[in-house]
Amino acid sequence: MLHHVADQPHPSLKKWCISRNKFLEFLDCIEQNGLTTTTFQEISESDFNEKHLKNKVIITFDDCAAALFDFAIPELLRRKMKAVFYMPSEHIDGLNIWDIEEHSMISVKLMNAIQLQQLVSMGMEVGSHGEKHIKLNLVSKDLAYNDMLNSKITLEGLLNNKVYSFAYPYGKIPAQHQQLLIKAGYKFGLSIYSPYETNYTLRRFAINEQDDKQTINMKLNSRYRLMRLFYDPIILFKNKLFKA
């Protein structure tokens, strides 16, 4: 899970940004581990079995910052790599309003319709990050479903391409999430931390600026996924206690 790739980002973006060199190091590690990139669309439309998926990795970008076209996307193309980009559909050609209003972060220009269409033409995948980028666990079932469905309808109409996957904004999983996503027509749901993992609560890991090559390699290893199986329920429980 990535957001921004830039050198010397604004201080308010540092937590969500890695440098160009760190991004290159991440891609180098993928190649050196003998992994190849794929997308949820490719998985859905191909006859992949467990053996095929063993050496695959999915790179995801949340929010679709337009600046990704400056360096990250050209580098992916140079290496013949793919990625999935998650767009909050109401904010196409807009700004990261949720970050500005909630966390006083600097404004970030998001991709416009033409740029999203370019991603698809390049072999990348565009997925849904909701319609309004809201915490779906804090709204009613009907509002959560409408947010999921409306985003999918908007993106599919714009891209003339099926949308297969949904990344929960803030990583917040709503009640009855699987039922809602299936009803809206999605095949995959992406979280960050999850007490259990299914196709609708896929765990992701972040690449951080402080990660060295050893740490990145560890995160790309299947043993890290096993560690997260035990780690995620603990950290979610601690977060719940802290909020209480």
**What tens digit of pLDDT does each residue of 208-230 get?**
999 999 999 999 998 898 899 88
User: Which residue range(s) make up the domain with 103?
Assistant: 4-243
Q: pLDDT-derived band of residue 49, with 50, 70 and 90 as boundaries?
A: confident
Q: Which of 84, 89, 88 has its CA nearest to residue 68? A: 84
Q: Which of 206, 203, 191, 63 has its CA nearest to residue 132? A: 63
**CATH number of the domain to which 146 belongs:** 3.20.20.370
**What tens digit of pLDDT does each residue of 27-45 get?**
999 999 999 999 999 999 9
Cβ-based neighbours of 18, under 8 Å, separated by 6 or more? 2, 4, 5, 26, 207, 208, 209
Q: pLDDT-derived band of residue 233, with 50, 70 and 90 as boundaries?
A: confident
With H, G, I as helix, E, B as strand and everything else as coil, classify residue 108: coil
Number of domains in the chain: 1
Is the pLDDT score of 244 beyond 50? Answer: no
185: left (phi over 0), alpha (psi -120 to 50) or beta: left
